[in-house]
A and B are shown apart, each in its own frame.
Chain A
Amino acid sequence: MSTESVSHQARLAAGFSDAYSYIAGKFSVFSGDRIGQAGLLMLGFIIFLGIFSKPISVTLLDFTIYLQPFELAPYDPSERHRFDDGSLMRLEGPSSEHLLGTTHLGRDVLSQVIVGARASLIVGSLAAFMAVFIGTNVGLTAAYLGGWVDDILMRITDIVYGLPFLPFAIVLVAIMGQSLFWIIFAIVIILWRSTARVIRSQVLSHKNRPYVESAHAIGADRLRIMYIHILPNVLPLAFLYAAFAVGHAVIAEASLSFLGFGPPGMVSWGGMIHTAFTQDAIRQAWWWVFPPGIMIMMFVMSVFFIGRTLEMIVNPELRHRE
């Protein structure tokens, strides 16, 4: 279990540091682009919420190390609050103690909104990273090797295109059980395909360029050419797709959660709206429905805004299909 978790963390860290160095290198494009700046600001805010919403601790044997001891959420999001007479604070509107009111079970909405950032961040970043990782490799391999490899990989992509996301995810969750892992898995399965196609066509255009031919000439092996020579040239595009993929993954997670198939045991924004919807509170409890909706919108908007700005430098002619 520990080795497994280390590898997850390492992959995550690697993903973030790559993305960071890439974005940092291109940061100059954000100056003078208001939309991009707004995106960065909103994303920063949500990452801030995600990190500081609740403490993060690591327990090693008997020691508990707090990586992050702060707690922004005013209450435990699952605590049921009561009035002094012991009755449940059912659907109370905003007050000084509960700035965004309470849910039908007397839970603090603000705390749920803050803590919910973490679910979206985790699902969004993990799913996007994995989807782009798979998509890039598939696209690269298919285009570079060509022939039957290309045929098979592209037919698989076609088949995956035939799976409508939500129905497929619902079936998958019904088969494998409702868990965070399988939800991310379902999102990844659906998201990698668009990256694969775009990377493939990009690699195709690079395949016959002089620098690749000269690498051939000096006898570089195929793996080396693929990953050392070609990959760096399509990586910016991959990162751009990662930005969009985060947005799509967040929407996908929220939609699944809204249908009641979200990750169990986690407070998520889509899940909050699901509860409000099924508990019939959307007619009256605006304080419960609107904040998580706005947060989802803001998160997705932020990555789309950033993506749009990056797009201008990565590939001005890019048409993203989807």
Chain B
Amino acid sequence: MAIPIMNVRMGNLDTSRRRLLKATGAAGVTGLGLSTAGCIETGDDDDGEPEDTPPDDEPELTEPVPELRFVMPTEGSNAERHELSLEAANNFEAVGFEIDRQQFDFGTQVEIALVEHNFDINVIGWGGTPERIDPHTFIHDLHHGSESNIGPGGRNSPGYNNPEYNDIADQQFVSVDMDERQQLVHQAQEILARDQPRTYIANEDDMHAYRHDNFENIVPTMGEGLNSFWNLIEATPLGDRDTLRFGYPTEITSLSPMQDMATPDRQWVRLLFDRLYRVTDEGIPEPWAAADDPTFEDDGETVVVPIREGMTFHDGEPVTAEDVAWSFEYFGEHSVTYGDRMAQVEEVNVTGDHEVTFHLTQAFAPFVANVLAQIYIWPQHIWQDVEDPVEVSIDDEETATGSGPYKFNQWDLEVELRLDAFEDHFSPPQVDRIIRVPGADTSTLVGMLEEDSIDMIGATPSVTAQNRMEDDPEITNVFAPTIAFFKFAYNMRNEVMQDVHLRRALSYCVPKQVYVDDMLGGVGTVTHSPIAEVNEFWHNPDVEQFHFDLDAAEQELANNGYGWDDDGRLHYTEEHDPQMFLDG
């Protein structure tokens, strides 16, 4: 709740460029200190130039456009996005909107966005884990108008429900033909760009760092940088080192894939437990514990997977086809995180000494990437009698027994996690031991890297630290693009946000390039679609683009039933005829 302390304006807001701003009383919370600096971006050059005087035939103004509730992160929770949000809010006001700035920490913001839906504009990003390289999550889960996506806890936070789009999103996941699916995914992106249920702003790429005097053979991957599975296995120590000390700003919450898991958890769970396939940088699943690609039968409704021979668990027991089939059923039954991935699997059968067959209810294009490459192989002999594996913490050698390239050594919560190399693995790591150090924040980790207390950082430090490390003779910065994207969501459950032209006008007010250049220090990519440019196969480069342009925003409004009063405040006009979606 923003309570104005005084009606006194302290600060020269009149420096802002637009006549309109003057009237909005845009003093922020109290008008103390933060005045609206002009935006610096190409394509906007209207300083001082008088606004067009309204022609006489301008339609009558009606109601003012209601104030928009803009839910943004606090500076403490995300400084960069906070900066952009403030700047965008000023721009919104500059074109005549009234903005109620609401700053919340991450937890509250997520709840408002995804559960309460109590916002007009909300600022949140979506992470880019490898299974999201397949466009299904971003195209379907984030934008399809099904009840489970739109309702509380669903991931379609704008409540976008366009029947034309829904059809395409439905078709793309049953389409097993890659080219046909690509067409559909491209088409979906076109519609999203047209309708702007969200302003897709940027992919916040990674810039991780490591000490090259300690390690070589670094394998960063898209979306994960140095956290990549391949890197933790391939990184090779120099000299007589045998331990990799890896820093990450937060502790993992759980090593059990049965429990709720966050992205960093998965990155370490998969070192302990093998999966049948692994998704490569290109988003293509390739065999891992499976011996070869799966064979599809019955139009994709039956999937046969050959299992690699000669694998053992950390306790020496062999990995059998029974273990594999049992694991899938067990996860389907219990896992909080992976359980619903097994929804379309009718049954899993052992069809040979080294072969498992899956029967699906209907063909599912991302089956290999989203199911076979996600669920872990667990030892049946350890877990078969455990009734409720969700309640079991994985924090000792027995519970952590898998067949992965590392085996469990010790976990001292929020201090260190130690794993040792599993020498009998078919792809053993290059180090004897890996220690994961949760550092509370990235700048602490940078300090530790500079002091040679750790070897690598799996997070993007501040621009300041990046520049400093660039000059450090012992440290190398590693760039990795990401498919993760950051956006403003517009809540289409609220009447005011239902008009497509209003949303499009807002999108023109977001200085995407400034965000990437200034706030992210160039480590990022402007985007106009939820599918990142680096995701080449699925990305549609020809969608409509929204570059920062306040004139275009005003034009969009003026042409579609909006007008301004003498104070520059945005009103509806009698011609206003809200339109939810644009026709193609």
Direct A–B contact in complex, judged by CB atoms less than 8 Å apart: yes
Binary interface encoding of chain A residues 259-288 relative to chain B, with 1 for a CB under 8 A from any of its CBs, else 0: 111111111100100110111110111000
**CB-defined contacts of A151 to chain B, threshold 8 Å:** none
| Cβ–Cβ contact B76 & A261, under 8 A | yes
Tell whether A150 is near chain B: CB-to-CB under 8 Å.
Answer: no
| Cβ–Cβ contact A57 & B8, under 8 A | yes
Q: Which of B24-32, B52-60, B204-212 contacts A (4 or more CB under 8 A)?
A: B24-32
Tell whether A31 is near chain B: CB-to-CB under 8 Å.
Answer: no
| Cβ–Cβ contact B519 & A177, under 8 A | no
**CB-defined contacts of B447 to chain A, threshold 8 Å:** 283
Cα–Cα, bound, A267→B29 (Å)? 12
Tell whether B1 is near chain A: CB-to-CB under 8 Å.
Answer: yes
Cα–Cα, bound, A56→B104 (Å)? 29
Tell whether A24 is near chain B: CB-to-CB under 8 Å.
Answer: no
| Cβ–Cβ contact B34 & A266, under 8 A | yes
Q: Which of B281-289, B302-310, B375-383, B460-468 contacts A (4 or more CB under 8 A)?
A: B460-468
A166-186: which have CB < 8 Å to B? 174, 176-182
Within the complex, the shortest CB–CB distance from A11 to chain B, in Å, comes to 11
Tell whether B280 is near chain A: CB-to-CB under 8 Å.
Answer: no
**CB-defined contacts of A57 to chain B, threshold 8 Å:** 8-10, 12
| Cβ–Cβ contact B34 & A267, under 8 A | yes
**CB-defined contacts of A58 to chain B, threshold 8 Å:** 7-9
**CB-defined contacts of A5 to chain B, threshold 8 Å:** 4-8
**Closest A residue, CB atoms, query B8:** A58
The A-B contact count (CB < 8 A) is 164
Q: Given the interface contacts A54-B12, A79-B37, does A9 sit within 8 Å of B6 by beta carbon?
A: yes
Binary interface encoding of chain A residues 1-21 relative to chain B, with 1 for a CB under 8 A from any of its CBs, else 0: 110010011000000000000
Cα–Cα, bound, A261→B443 (Å)? 18
| Cβ–Cβ contact A76 & B35, under 8 A | yes
| Cβ–Cβ contact A56 & B9, under 8 A | yes
Cα–Cα, bound, A57→B102 (Å)? 25
**CB-defined contacts of B442 to chain A, threshold 8 Å:** 280
| Cβ–Cβ contact A105 & B519, under 8 A | yes
Tell whether B33 is near chain A: CB-to-CB under 8 Å.
Answer: yes
Binary interface encoding of chain A residues 174-204 relative to chain B, with 1 for a CB under 8 A from any of its CBs, else 0: 1011111110000000000000000000000
Q: Given the interface contacts A8-B6, A260-B75, does A174 sit within 8 Å of B32 by beta carbon?
A: no
Q: Which of A115-123, A224-232, A303-311 contacts B (4 or more CB under 8 A)?
A: A115-123
Within the complex, the shortest CB–CB distance from A80 to chain B, in Å, comes to 6
| Cβ–Cβ contact A56 & B7, under 8 A | no
Cα–Cα, bound, A78→B16 (Å)? 12
Within the complex, the shortest CB–CB distance from B38 to chain A, in Å, comes to 8
Q: Given the interface contacts A91-B464, A179-B2, A265-B34, does A71 sit within 8 Å of B29 by beta carbon?
A: no
Cα–Cα, bound, A105→B86 (Å)? 14
**Closest B residue, CB atoms, query A107:** B37
**CB-defined contacts of A275 to chain B, threshold 8 Å:** 75, 79
**CB-defined contacts of B101 to chain A, threshold 8 Å:** 264-265
Q: Which 6 A-B pairs have the closest CB atoms?
A: A260-B76, A265-B28, A280-B443, A267-B33, A280-B465, A181-B3
Contacts from A to B (Cβ < 8 Å): 1-2, 5, 8-9, 54-59, 67, 71, 76-80, 82, 88, 90-91, 104-106, 115-116, 118-119, 122, 126, 174, 176-182, 259-268, 271, 274-275, 277-281, 283-285
Contacts from B to A (Cβ < 8 Å): 1-12, 15, 25, 28-30, 32-37, 40, 74-77, 79, 83, 86, 101-105, 107-108, 441-443, 446-447, 461-465, 467-468, 517-519, 521
